[in-house]
């Protein structure tokens, strides 16, 4: 769990728990980072697929419609329960970092996906939208949490959209 001062300075709530089991009232959107090539088989997506088939199936169909190359920054919302959606955000160029190469994370693409989510929340104030996520983009995508936090603040915190970040019990980002 993060220190209280982290929460006070960022407006982000940090908890130890499972991001696929968000708590709270209203519509809970689980945001995560996808690659642009349609690969789904490692990292947080495995926890999503263990719980629901729909996010993977919709993502794979979306990839087929784009001939295997999704546009960076695109985002799709996938309803999985009455009050839970999954946001597939295309924020990763490719799936691996070449030796000595640039990590696949693309912060501009993550920012664009967050922008779409914030717009959805603004258009649906009656749904009491909150955002839930693991440390998105910081595991397989090779991103830095210190670069993700300002994007969360810009798009969600400054727009009064609650954000909860989950660390899986035992300190791992995701199962």
Q: What is the CATH number of the domain that holds 62?
A: 3.40.220.10
Between the alpha carbon of residue 33 and those of residues 9, 60, 77, the distances in Å are 24, 14, 13
> Does the pLDDT of residue 2 top 70, yes or no?
no
- Does residue 61 lie within any of the structural domains? yes
Q: For residues 158, 89, 50 and 132, what is the CA-based torsion angle, rounded to 10 degrees?
A: 0
> Does the pLDDT of residue 22 top 50, yes or no?
yes
pTM to 2 decimal places: 0.91
Parent domain of 49: 24-167
- Does residue 5 lie within any of the structural domains? no
What integer pLDDT is reported at residue 96 of this predicted model? Answer: 75
Q: pLDDT confidence of 171, banded at 50, 70, 90?
A: low
Three-state DSSP class for residue 81? strand
Mean local confidence (pLDDT), 160-174:
79
- Does residue 18 lie within any of the structural domains? no
- Does residue 46 lie within any of the structural domains? yes
Dig out the tokens for 79 from the structure.
Answer: 């309803």
- DSSP line for 18-30: -TTS--SSS-EEE
- Does residue 7 lie within any of the structural domains? no
Count up the domains in the chain and report the number. 1
């Amino acid at each position: 769990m993060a220190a209280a001062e982290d929460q006070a300075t960022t407006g982000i709530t940090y908890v130890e728990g499972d991001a696929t089991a968000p708590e709270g009232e209203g519509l809970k959107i689980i945001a995560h980072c996808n690659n642009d090539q349609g690969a789904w088989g490692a990292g947080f997506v495995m926890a999503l697929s263990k719980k629901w088939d729909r996010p993977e199936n919709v993502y794979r169909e979306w990839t087929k419609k784009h001939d295997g190359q999704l546009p960076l920054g695109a985002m799709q919302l996938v309803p999985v329960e009455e009050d839970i959606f999954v946001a597939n955000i295309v924020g990763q160029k490719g799936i691996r970092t070449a030796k000595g190469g640039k990590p696949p994370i693309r912060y501009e693409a993550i920012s664009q996906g967050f922008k779409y989510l914030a717009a959805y929340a603004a258009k649906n104030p009656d749904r009491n939208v909150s955002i839930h996520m693991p440390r998105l983009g910081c595991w397989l995508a090779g991103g830095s949490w210190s670069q993700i936090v300002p994007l969360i603040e810009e798009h969600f915190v400054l727009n009064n959209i609650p954000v909860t970040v989950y660390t899986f019990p035992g300190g791992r980002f995701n199962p």
